[in-house]
Amino acid sequence: MITLLHSAIVFGTVILFGALGEIISEKAGNLNLGVPGVMYLGAIAGLVGVFFYELGTPNPIPIVCILIALVCSFAASALGGLVYSFLTITLRCNQNVTGLTLTIFGSGVANFFGGSLNKLAGGVGQVSVPVTSGAFRKYIPALASIGGEKSIGYLLFSYGFMAYAAIILAILIHFYLKKTRSGLNLRAVGENPATADAAGINVTKYKYLATCIGAGISGFGGLYYTMDYIGGTWANDGTIEALGWLAVALVIFATWRSLNAIWGAYLFGVCYWMYLYIPGLQRRSLELFKMIPYVVTLLLLVFVSMRRRKEDQPPAGLGLPYFREER
Amino acid sequence: MDSKYAIEMRGITKRFGHVVANNNVHLELQKGEILSLLGENGSGKTTLMNMLAGIYYPDEGQIFVDGEPVSIQSPKDAFDHGIGMIHQHFKLVDVFTAAENIVLGLDEEGKLDRKAIAAKVRVIAERYGFDIDPDQKIYEMSVSQKQTVEIVKVLYRGANVLILDEPTAVLTPQETDKLFAVMRNMKADGKALIIITHKLHEVLDVSDRVVVLRKGEYIGDVPTKEATQQSLTDMMVGRATALNINRPDPVDPHPVLEVKNLTCVDKDGVKRLDDVTFTAMGGEILGIAGIAGSGQKELLEAISGLYPVVSGEIKYIPDDGTALDLRGMDPMAIRKAGIAMSFVPEDRLGMGLVGSMGMSGNMMLRSWKKGTGPFLKRKDPNQLAMEIWKNLEVVTPGIQYPVRRLSGGNVQKVLVGREIAAGPKLLMTAYAVRGLDINTSYTIYNLLTDQKMKGVAVVYVGEDLDVLLELCDRIVVLCGGQVSGVVDARKTTREEIGLLMTQFRKEGATA
Amino acid sequence: MSEITRKGHAQEPFIRISKRGDEMPVWKAWGIRVIGLILALIVSAIVIYAIVKLNPLKIYVSMWQGAFGTSKRTWVTVRDTMTLLCIACALAPAFAMRFWNVGAEGQVLVGGIATAACMIYFKSLPLPLLFLVMIIASIVAGGIWGLIPGFFKARWNTNETLFTLMMNYIAIQLTAFFVATWENPKGSNSVGVINRQTKVGWLPNLFSEGYNTDFGWNVIIVLLVATLVLIYLRQTKHGYEISVVGDSENTARYAGIRVKRVYIRTMALSGAIAGLAGFLAVSGASHTISTQTAGGRGFTAIIVAWLSRMNTYVMLVFAALIVFLDKGATEIASSFGMNEYVSQIISGIILFFVLGSEFFVNYRVKFRGAKTGGADK
């Protein structure tokens, strides 16, 4: 049970980052279906950054590794967000189509460089950044062993710092959206851009910033995946893309609330790993178990639309371009 | 510089394409006064005020605030000059609370302290006598509550000049009284207010001074004390201008549509039509007059089966004499029975036309179901489109050219032409000449008269009183969803209709 | 006075964007798109050069070789173009209705599952009957998969983009389930080539005996579908209803169109055609089923359909372009020791530019001080 929860939390952290970024973006009315691509970009940029640092430095300093990874990751995925923003906000392209293109582009870039890195690493064909990955996975053994082996301490304190960062970030985003003026303005932009515009809010600026910062945060999901989840390497197996879509699902599941996303992410994680802990399961049935997060999300989506509670609906301006003169 | 005037507008001209919305208009607003801006629909009141609110920018002329020349290019500029406008269509975020909407977009320091904001809102509310709950969500509010939020929003931003665009159009009489009380409180506090309205009794009730516009021109201003309903009506409608519309006598009038005690209620529970009774005759044109939003749209839609009816009767009597109850029939069946409606909404395309299709595709909107088999019959609609193109002189590169890209007049010709082509027994048209030039308007009048001569019952909802007087045989005047009078168009005067349009039937009084 | 007026004008925004009032001539619109495409190719070339320091021209030549170098390659390129085109055709009715069906991936997969199931369970049926059963099964499966989101949209106005997106992943897991069920050989985690020996249920060559040397049937089926969809959208009453609903639900109601029914029916159709694409992917191409059977083409097709403005013949051009990039890049990967994902990068760049060029087709950009008419692009 503890190990299930543990792997659920690790799994959940990846999609939590992805979903948090997407929440910010969607709250500003931009349905960015490029989340998988953005997560790819964040993952590869962080990996490439530290790979060259570790390659060129005899004794890499862990903290520098972490900083390089974070900065590269954020910059690359925010850049992806910027391309999306420019196309959808300034050039008013269709959001769905642009987002999907970003996903294609991001996964292309990431897998291209990831594959090349594997080649560069030579021999076995697997790139590895042990120092950075170690730093990302570091936890405090004393805390983690509270209550003995694989017990409460393990459950609560045995993760790399990013797992906690994700929770803190979720709380911060909640605080930002609910308690600050800027957060209020942001939500207004997503709900009703014309009203926001009339109230003197710079709609374009908010949309750009929300989408780029959101993309940067989503990118951390990819980074966490490469550095912590699979231990500082690269795999061209398309997992990040699947996780990216799960992050989009999580946004819906959390009804656009970052606090809900925390437990939602872990719940998705439990659903994802549950099959390991159910005895006598055939391999084909476990595939059905992996379907659960999506089915649950779908049911919730239907339920929410049936209930028509205003607070649970997607932002009213989601997916629509805003053009002042088209009133 | 300290000026006597809060606002001065000098020589303001605004054109939209070839249409002159405001021509060399002057307006002064003194501090601590309530000014009524009076005029018929399309007289340019809202356009003029939108230039103060930063929605439009004047083509010519200069605005002064407190005696200083200013350039107002955005709503934010307007706020910075202390001008706030309450539009007819509220600009509020539905899922936000009143307080959240009020502070939206302000660059005040610090975090969002809901308690402090709510307190500040309550102070404003108390000072002027508003009834507002800062924590209530907008989507839970009634129209009047939403309006209150809009006004408080403007006051919260420190506006000294408030512009209210037809604020009473959506209010009940009780709510209107409350609003006026609040307005007087604001005035007592030194604010200057402009209220746009075309209800004369309200003008007389609340304002200190009246400025009248007609057809985009400044007509004059009078202190309210010296004005009467009659004098204001005269200013507003002007002298009757002879249009010389050809009006033959009705041929063999016979009842085609009998509406009895029709009552309709909208989504918010407001009565849009209240006990409406009238008869439309075949072979005559029945005009429907009334200020905008008096129930014209709802009436037409109710007859066409597009608006829910609460109570009353809609009886349709086709040639064979057997009456048909239209209530509860679906729109398609009603249209098949021989009833045509062309409603030209403000945005022209909202209903009845498919903007992305050409004339030919739009002709099909009526006939697409014709014929057996899965395929569209394009021949007839194409032919019809060609006919309308030629006969009504529609300016378009071709019948496949998207109607969205046509000019307003041409769009209307397409719409009206199609409805007439259906050969209806009852033809209803609303604002058919909205925004059209004189010549095109006459084309439409003649089309309608032709229909009348064929024995069709024509219902014409119009804005221009002169046209109603010269085109129609009888005129039903609507006021606040009620019929305030039915008059003979040949005998009545502009003044009589003008008064009927603005006089609400007093409770208990019989019409 | 004049001074003040001038001051007002000086504050006119630097760039003004307005919707074009008049339709741009077709040649000009396509001109802009072609310019976008050329810019994209230049940017891609720079990117390629920056990464691998190889002459980009050589790379483009090599890509051509990869797509059309041999007759076998040409046929594979054609085959994949047809599959992509078929999916894009499936999306056309939904998009014409402004219904964002991003669920083609899943609709293709369930169509593929149905096809594979028939190949596995009904191999004893006479061939013509088997093909009929396969086609019907794939269409029905895809149709149901499309109908579900259509129903919820019609009934409760459930957001269709998010709904169809989720349906994709349910379909993927469903596929994984069937892959595990039909695993062959055991432990391979794949179905393997179905009926490898007998080739029962394989779409045969059109121009010769045997299999897999030409894909004429794919071409015929898809071009037929493309033509029928175009006729359906442009010439039938259903197509008319779809356009009206897409333009304005209010107008549709005014015209007596049953909006809900149109939503459901059109989405069932959209899913059905995607299901047929699943049939082609399984019976007409890979002869197996896996979670990669749709291979992201359900998403690529969205872009193809959107850029082509629901014209199925224009879709052919975009589908061919994308498949060409894909095939070409695979070739580069082997001959220059690069990685095949470069194709996705190039596709991405090209699509970004083509998407961006739509803006200049639909909007007029006017710089401050420019004479009326303004500068285009």
- Residue-wise pLDDT for B349-400, tens only, equals 556 788 778 888 888 877 777 777 778 777 778 888 888 888 777 777 777 8
Nearest CA in chain C to A117: C339
Judge whether C219 lies within some domain. yes
Contact A261, A251 (CB under 8 A): yes
Distance CA B385, CA B78 (A): 47
Which two tokens mark B439? Answer: 């010549």
Which two tokens mark B83? Answer: 């001008």
User: Out of A94, A290, A297, whose CB is closest to C173?
Assistant: A290
User: Out of A178, A184, A316, whose CB is closest to B104?
Assistant: A184
Q: Residue B317: its pLDDT value, please?
A: 83
Same domain, B314 and B455: yes
Judge whether B509 lies within some domain. yes
Judge whether C40 lies within some domain. no
* Region A38-61 average pLDDT: 87
Which two tokens mark C196? Answer: 């490898």
Judge whether C223 lies within some domain. yes
Judge whether B429 lies within some domain. yes
Asked whether the beta carbons of residue C165 and residue A107 sit closer than 8 angstroms, the reply is no
Contact C318, C311 (CB under 8 A): no
DSSP character string of A255-285: TT-HHHHHHHHHHHHHHHHGGGGSTT--HHH
Distance CA A318, CA A299 (A): 20
Least confident of A188-202, A255-269, B164-178: B164-178
- DSSP β-ladder status, B209-214 and B34-38: parallel
Asked whether the beta carbons of residue A236 and residue C341 sit closer than 8 angstroms, the reply is yes
Judge whether B113 lies within some domain. yes
B73 at C interface, C-beta within 8 A: yes
Q: Residue A326: its pLDDT value, please?
A: 44
Q: Which of A214, A191, A216, A211 is nearest to A201 (CA)?
A: A191
Nearest CA in chain A to C189: A283
| C-chain residues near B306 (CB < 8 A) | 253-254
Q: Which domain holds residue B317?
A: 251-338+424-511
* Mean pLDDT estimate for chain B: 82
Q: Is residue B414 predicted with pLDDT exceeding 90?
A: no
Q: Residue C114: its pLDDT value, please?
A: 93
| A-chain residues near B100 (CB < 8 A) | 184
Asked whether the beta carbons of residue C162 and residue A288 sit closer than 8 angstroms, the reply is no
C358 at A interface, C-beta within 8 A: yes
Q: Residue A106: its pLDDT value, please?
A: 92
This prediction's pTM = 0.81
Same domain, B412 and B444: no
A326 at B interface, C-beta within 8 A: no
Q: Residue C4: its pLDDT value, please?
A: 37
| C-chain residues near A318 (CB < 8 A) | 159
* Region B154-164 average pLDDT: 89
Q: Residue B349: its pLDDT value, please?
A: 58
C180 at A interface, C-beta within 8 A: yes
Q: Residue A271: its pLDDT value, please?
A: 82
Judge whether C315 lies within some domain. yes
Residue type, A307: R
- Residue-wise pLDDT for A157-171, tens only, equals 778 888 899 999 999
Q: Which of B499, B425, B506, B479 is nearest to B232 (CA)?
A: B499
List average pLDDT for each run of 10 residues in chain C, which is 377 residues long: 37 57 69 84 80 75 82 86 92 91 92 91 86 92 94 89 89 90 80 78 76 80 91 89 86 83 94 93 85 84 85 88 82 73 81 84 64 35
Least confident of A194-203, B463-472, B497-506, C43-52: B497-506
| B-chain residues near A187 (CB < 8 A) | 93, 96
C3 at B interface, C-beta within 8 A: no
- Residue-wise pLDDT for B99-127, tens only, equals 889 888 887 766 778 888 888 889 988 88
Which two tokens mark C67? Answer: 């797509």
Q: How far is A260 from chain B (nearest CA, A)?
A: 19
C152 at A interface, C-beta within 8 A: yes
Q: How far is C334 from chain B (nearest CA, A)?
A: 48
| CATH assignment at residue B195 | 3.40.50.300
User: Out of B306, B376, B405, whose CB is closest to C236?
Assistant: B376
The total number of residues shown for chain B amounts to 511
Same domain, B134 and B101: yes
- Residue-wise pLDDT for A119-174, tens only, equals 776 655 567 777 777 777 777 777 777 776 667 777 777 788 888 999 999 999 99
Q: How far is C277 from chain A (nearest CA, A)?
A: 20
Distance CA C144, CA C110 (A): 9
Which two tokens mark C52? Answer: 């691998």
Same domain, B390 and B477: no
Same domain, B133 and B173: yes
Judge whether B47 lies within some domain. yes
Q: How far is A172 from chain C (nearest CA, A)?
A: 26
In degrees and rounded to multiples of 5, residue B11 shows phi and psi of: 55, 40
| B-chain residues near C239 (CB < 8 A) | 376
CB atoms within 10 A of CB B230: 12
Q: How far is C262 from chain B (nearest CA, A)?
A: 14
Same domain, B413 and B364: yes
Those of residues 320-349 in C touching chain A at CB distance below 8 A are 338-339, 341-349
Domain count along chain B: 3
Contact A224, A232 (CB under 8 A): no
Same domain, B265 and B288: yes
Q: Which of C209, C216, C195, C157 is nearest to C282 (CA)?
A: C195
Same domain, B182 and B218: yes
Nearest CA in chain A to B92: A195
Domain count along chain C: 1
In the block, which residue shows the tokens 């339920």? A303
Judge whether B343 lies within some domain. no
Asked whether the beta carbons of residue B104 and residue A191 sit closer than 8 angstroms, the reply is no
Judge whether C291 lies within some domain. yes
Judge whether B438 lies within some domain. yes
Q: Which of B503, B504, B498, B507 is nearest to B41 (CA)?
A: B498
- Cβ neighbours of residue B89 closer than 8 Å, sequence gap 6 or more: none
Structural domains in chain A, CATH included, are: 2-326 (1.10.3470)
Distance CA A195, CA A198 (A): 5
Same domain, B266 and B376: no
Q: Residue C358: its pLDDT value, please?
A: 80
- The secondary element (H helix, E strand) that includes residue A114 is helix A95-120
Q: Where are the beta strands (DSSP E) in B321-468?
A: 324-325, 339-343, 426-430, 457-461
A304 at B interface, C-beta within 8 A: no
Q: Which domain holds residue C106?
A: 79-323
Same domain, B283 and B404: no
B69 at C interface, C-beta within 8 A: yes
> Distances in Å between the alpha carbon of A116 and those of A236, C57, C329?
11, 22, 15
| CATH assignment at residue C303 | 1.10.3470
User: Out of B74, B79, B104, whose CB is closest to A188?
Assistant: B104
- Residue-wise pLDDT for B216-269, tens only, equals 889 888 999 888 877 887 787 776 566 677 788 887 888 888 899 999 888 767
Same domain, B308 and B383: no
For testing the chain C interface, which of B368, B378, B415 should be mutated: the one with the most C CBs within 10 Å? B368
Same domain, B224 and B255: no
Distance CA A158, CA B168 (A): 65
Judge whether B346 lies within some domain. no
Those of residues 82-141 in C touching chain A at CB distance below 8 A are 100, 102
Judge whether C289 lies within some domain. yes
CA B387 to chain CA centroid, nearest Å: 32
